[in-house]
Structure 1
Amino acid sequence: MTLGQKIAWDDTILPFQLDQSDIRGRVARLDGVLEGILKQHDYPPVVEALVAEMALLTALIGQTIKLRWKLSLQIQSKGPVRMIATDYYGPDSEGRAARMRAYASFDRDRLTDGPPFDQVGDGYFAVLIDQGEGTEPYQGITPIAGTGIRDCAEAYFAQSEQLPTRFSLSFGKSTEAGGDEHWRAGGVMLQHMPKASSHVQGGGSGEGGLLGAEDIVDGEELENWTRVNMLLDTVEDLELIGPSVAPTDLLVRLFHEETPRVFESQSVRFGCSCTEERVRSSLSIYSARDIEKMTTDAGTVTADCQFCGAHYVLDPKTLGFEAEGKSGDGD
């Protein structure tokens, strides 16, 4: 393995299809993306692990959608980790990288020594798709379920989309020869191809009556789904994370009898959509009196991006709907 090969595999999402089983999937490897996300914050290790898992899921899911703008995943909970939010921005033109960002909100004093998902209490998992100006955003919500965020995502697809979906993920800090310790993540997503007549009545067999794969497909389709999942069960963490196993080699090792077919990979990088113009736009709804309350002793209004840490310092006279030049006099 050369350094160039390693870089080529990292921060990419590889779509594939198993022609024998009518199942599609993705293989994702994240390296620099996670570093870009996590270095913006001083998260405790358990929070870092949750953000890493959420980011990996977002990369895998985002590449399955024909996005014109943004996919967002959110967890809202009553646990020590109150919220995790991730955004995946589709490439703005062919051949360009997708962009990702993420952050978490938590009560440091309430964190425990248990597994990362123990920090997530009752709440919900949400998927939001915004295709941009002129479209109505979509939102789907399912309750927190299972023992990891991947279980929540699988429950969402079964319940809201009625698509059997499976994730196998691995993530953690890695140290390579001659390098510093840093976060890496890798995963495989499997999803049964959608059928035109999928609508299940009544409750499901999963936790809290949520739907499971066996409630959505049956017969030969269920046999295919079960067989492919058994093959995925044989994957090892180092195969998921790499960097010694290429995604194409991993697919051949796991699914060679299923006739895997790969498509063009999608690169992904850390990136934020915040700008001074958007900050000004978000403050345009406030009156001069409201802006005055936001003004610091230094005579400025400041704003920080929770995703990337960007710090904006603005002149209060130029903010709000009563800002200088917006009064309408002289028009």
Structure 2
Amino acid sequence: MTLGNKLAWDDTVLPFQLDNADIRGRVARLDGVLDGVLKQHDYPPVVEALVAEMTLLTALIGQTVKLRWKLSLQVQSNGPVKMIATDYYGPNEEGEPARIRAYANYDADALTDGPAMEQIGKGYFAILIDQGKGMTPYQGLTPLVGPTLATAAEAYFAQSEQLPTRFSLSFGKSTEPGVGEHWRAGGVMLQHMPKASPFAKGTEATGAEGLLHARDLVDGDDYENWNRANILLDTVDDLELIGPSVQPTDLLVRLFHEEAPRVFDSQPVRFGCTCSEERVRQTMSIYSQKDIAKMTNDEGRLTADCQFCGAHYDLDPATLGFEGTGNE
């Protein structure tokens, strides 16, 4: 692949449909997005890997949100990695890139040499969708299960949305010739088209911890189609997922040519944060000047740091808050 083609597919999500199997999906390739997310922090390698996986999941899942909507993924746990949070901001206009940001909160002293998911422990996986002003945000959550964040996301969709879902992901440090070492990721998401009554099958949940599994939601021809697509996806290798030598369109033909794959317009994604001094001031506007005084540092300033992008705001307390006695 030429450099031009490589750049054309990096930081994009390509939606597709398998017409012969009643399955939809997405292919994602992330490069600069991960660099933007991870360079803001000095994460230990195991935390970097978890944030990279969560960012890739966010790109694949978030592609379906509408213009100006916001989708958030969250992992909360009792392990060394307390939280991973990501936001996906739908494009403001058709053809514009979506924006992704992410961060992790962790206890460095509690991290171990064990697998990545061992650093998370017990907790929950959540998806939140904000449709904008005047609309009630949607939130769904399920317990964290499985050996990866991808399997936790699959369990979420089976349990909370009753949608059979499968992820195949690859991510890690890239060492391409002539390019500095950097994080790169790629993945495929499959999802069976929703049915009117997914519980009509009447089977018991067979997933971990008594949760529904994708196989519990399909039967008959749907089961055969779903099983066949999963077997085909099992043949993908890491280099096909992350590129840059295989284009996503070629990958879909290689994997699913007998399923009549049909692609739609790709969605570019970029690293982007929505923090600003104006937003900090807006947040502080609910506090009285007496409350603001309690937040002021020894230098007589009020400071705030963005957890996502690391931006630092240094404000004059006299310009914040409202006059009043505040809370005692």
What TM-score range do you get, normalising by the shorter chain?
Answer: over 0.9
- The 1-side partners of 2:3 and 2:269 are apart by 18
Q: Are the aligned partners of 2:186 and 2:242 in contact in 1 as well (CA < 8 Å)? A: yes
Match for residue 30 of structure 2? 30
Structure 1 pair 203/139, CA: closer, same or farther in 2 (3 Å)? farther
Deviation larger for 191-200 or 288-297: 191-200
Match for residue 117 of structure 2? 117
Q: Are the aligned partners of 1:60 and 1:189 in contact in 2 as well (CA < 8 Å)? A: yes
- The 2-side partners of 1:245 and 1:178 are apart by 19
Deviation larger for 285-294 or 123-132: 285-294
Match for residue 159 of structure 1? 159
Match for residue 73 of structure 2? 73
- The 2-side partners of 1:308 and 1:136 are apart by 27
- The 2-side partners of 1:316 and 1:183 are apart by 40
- The 2-side partners of 1:105 and 1:78 are apart by 11
Structure 2 counterparts to residues 47-62 of structure 1, below 5 A? 47-62=47-62
1:318 shift after superposition: 1.4
Q: Deviations over 1:14-38 (max 9, x none)?
A: 0000000000000000000000000
1:203 shift after superposition: 5.2
- The 2-side partners of 1:257 and 1:302 are apart by 58
SS at match of 2:232: helix
Match for residue 218 of structure 1? 219
Query: Which runs of 5 or more structure 1 residues have no equivalent in the other structure?
Result: none
Is 2:310 aligned against 1:292? no
Is 2:186 aligned against 1:186? yes
1:202 shift after superposition: 8.0
- The 2-side partners of 1:39 and 1:150 are apart by 23
Match for residue 90 of structure 1? 90
1:286 shift after superposition: 1.5
SS at match of 1:96: coil
Q: Are the aligned partners of 1:203 and 1:210 in contact in 2 as well (CA < 8 Å)? A: no
Query: Which runs of 5 or more structure 2 residues have no equivalent in the other structure?
Result: none
Q: Deviations over 1:59-92 (max 9, x none)?
A: 0000123353200000000000000000000000
Deviation larger for 211-220 or 40-49: 211-220
Give the alignment's TM-score, normalised by structure 2.
0.96
Deviation larger for 136-145 or 288-297: 288-297
Q: Deviations over 1:175-234 (max 9, x none)?
A: 111110000000000000011222466851101110012211101100100000000000
* Identity score, percent: 75
- The 2-side partners of 1:25 and 1:243 are apart by 20
Q: Are the aligned partners of 1:73 and 1:86 in contact in 2 as well (CA < 8 Å)? A: yes
Is 2:235 aligned against 1:234? yes
Match for residue 267 of structure 1? 268
Is 2:105 aligned against 1:105? yes
Give the alignment's TM-score, normalised by structure 1.
0.96
SS at match of 1:88: strand
1:116 shift after superposition: 1.1
What letter corresponds to residue 284 of structure 2 in structure 1? L
SS at match of 2:58: helix
Structure 1 pair 301/221, CA: closer, same or farther in 2 (3 Å)? same
Match for residue 257 of structure 1? 258
- The 2-side partners of 1:235 and 1:245 are apart by 11
- The 1-side partners of 2:203 and 2:299 are apart by 60
Aligned residues: 323
Q: Are the aligned partners of 2:67 and 2:93 in contact in 1 as well (CA < 8 Å)? A: no
Instruction: Report the RMSD for the aligned CA atoms in angstroms.
Output: 1.2
Q: Are the aligned partners of 1:34 and 1:183 in contact in 2 as well (CA < 8 Å)? A: yes
What letter corresponds to residue 96 of structure 1 in structure 2? E
What letter corresponds to residue 117 of structure 2 in structure 1? F
Runs of 4+ in structure 1 off by over 3 angstroms are 199-203
- The 2-side partners of 1:63 and 1:88 are apart by 8
Q: Are the aligned partners of 2:15 and 2:264 in contact in 1 as well (CA < 8 Å)? A: yes
